[in-house]
Homo-oligomer: A and B are copies of this chain.
Amino acid sequence: MRQSSTQLDIATPGRGLVEITGPVAQWTTGTGIANGLLTLFIRHTSASLLIQENADPEVRRDLERFLARLVPDGDALFEHRNEGPDDMPAHVRSALTQTQLAVPVNGGRLALGTWQGLYVYEHRRRAHTRQVVLHLIGA
């Protein structure tokens, strides 16, 4: 049994979902650990992680529309506005989605379903670089 860890720096162009399935799968294969548990952890509270459908881009657009309606930018409810009207909504969106994900690895492959992709969800309007820590333990 052994483990491996790395950090991916993911450039986001502003609010929305950025797929990271490719680089995550590539790193996993490179570790030579064929069976085990992969954990993804995002080191931020205004961006999050999500597994969503990777087929129809409408799904991601609709999800974004839903969250924009549920947690409106500039909502008068929010006092925390240090970084603008999308500051506090980004924290709420992060709380409602995931900071970490765990994915089993079998035979060198992530156990994702056919239509599942791994995404960084940028909740701020402007571009950021987001740090995602990967940890794999197995054999």
Question: Which residues of A line the B interface, CB within 8 A?
Answer: 1-3, 5, 35-37, 39, 41-45, 50-53, 56, 58-59, 61-63, 65-66, 69-71, 77-80, 82, 88, 91-92, 94-104, 106, 111-116, 131, 133, 135, 137-139
What's the Cα separation between A95 and B51 when bound, in Å? Answer: 7
Q: Are B111 and A92 in contact (CB under 8 A)?
A: no
Contact, CB under 8 Å: A43 / B137: no
- Given the interface pairs A102-B39, A104-B39, A137-B36, the reply to whether A69 lies near B62 with Cβ below 8 Å is no
Would you call the interface of chain A mostly helix, strand, loop, or mixed?
mixed
Query: Are B99 and A100 in contact, CB atoms less than 8 angstroms apart?
Result: no
Decide: A45 and B52 in contact? CB cutoff 8 A. yes
